[in-house]
Amino acid sequence: MQNKTTPPPLRVLEVAASGRSTDSISRMLSADLIGALETRNGGVKLKRRDLSQGIALVDEAWINANFTAPEERSAEQRAVLADSDKLVGEIQGADAIVIGAPIYNFGVPAALKAWIDMIARARLTFRYTESGPEGLLKGKKAYVVIASGGVPVDSPMDFATPYLRQALAFVGITDVEVIAAEQLNSKAEESIDAARMRIAELIHTAPTLDTRAA
């Protein structure tokens, strides 16, 4: 009788962008979602990236290092790109990405924009072709957990959600689900309940060990 090889656990990368370490709705709902993924899969391998702890910004040294061919980079240039390389490795190694973010002033938090700048790397997460750029992070699923105080999600005033969809698609992640807790200033309980219902709906089609092994 042939033994089946057990596939590795679902690898989940959580990217937390809220400036709040406590009382954050996006962090709370991200935890709910990850807990549901754990239950569905009998556990997950979780990597957390908390952007409130600080993240490097693109500067001249980073740009020069990034546009230097890898084999020609100096030790100093490799050091400049080390944090970015680590962030790229985290998203490359994930099956599912959970991004928890509030809407700040109609857009994404600055730290989340910096994270996207760090992982959008030519030759690593996308490449240029004759027909235009091609994302290289294909076959992954992303969940975007968005919380807003007053802005309706996906309204003309929301520049965060469409930006995240576009940025993820640019690097090849086109299977994106949005979980919104919107207008919390006026309808917090209703919005949180709706977001939790959305999680319950999505979890039935979430990636599992069996679907990844098929």
- In eight-state DSSP terms, residue 206 is S
In the block, which residue shows the tokens 């959970």?
A: 98
Q: What is the pLDDT of residue 41?
A: 87
CATH number, domain of 99, equals 3.40.50.360
Among candidate residues 151, 169, 170, 173, the one with its CA nearest the CA of residue 160: 151
The pLDDT assigned to 5 comes to 65
CB of 17 closer than 8 Å to CB of 51:
yes
Flag whether 1 is in a domain. Answer: no
Residue 3 within any structural domain of the chain? no
pLDDT at residue 8 in the model: 81
Tell me the mean pLDDT per 10 residues along the chain, length 214: 67 97 96 94 94 96 96 97 98 97 98 98 96 96 97 97 98 97 95 96 74 48
Residue 84 lies in a domain: yes
4 part of a folded domain? no
- Judge whether 196 lies within some domain: yes
Q: How many domains does the chain have?
A: 1
Does 98 reside within a domain? yes
Indicate the pTM of the whole model.
Answer: 0.92
Per-residue pLDDT, 205 = 74
17: containing domain: 10-213
pLDDT at 42: 86
Provide the 3-class DSSP secondary structure of residue 186: helix
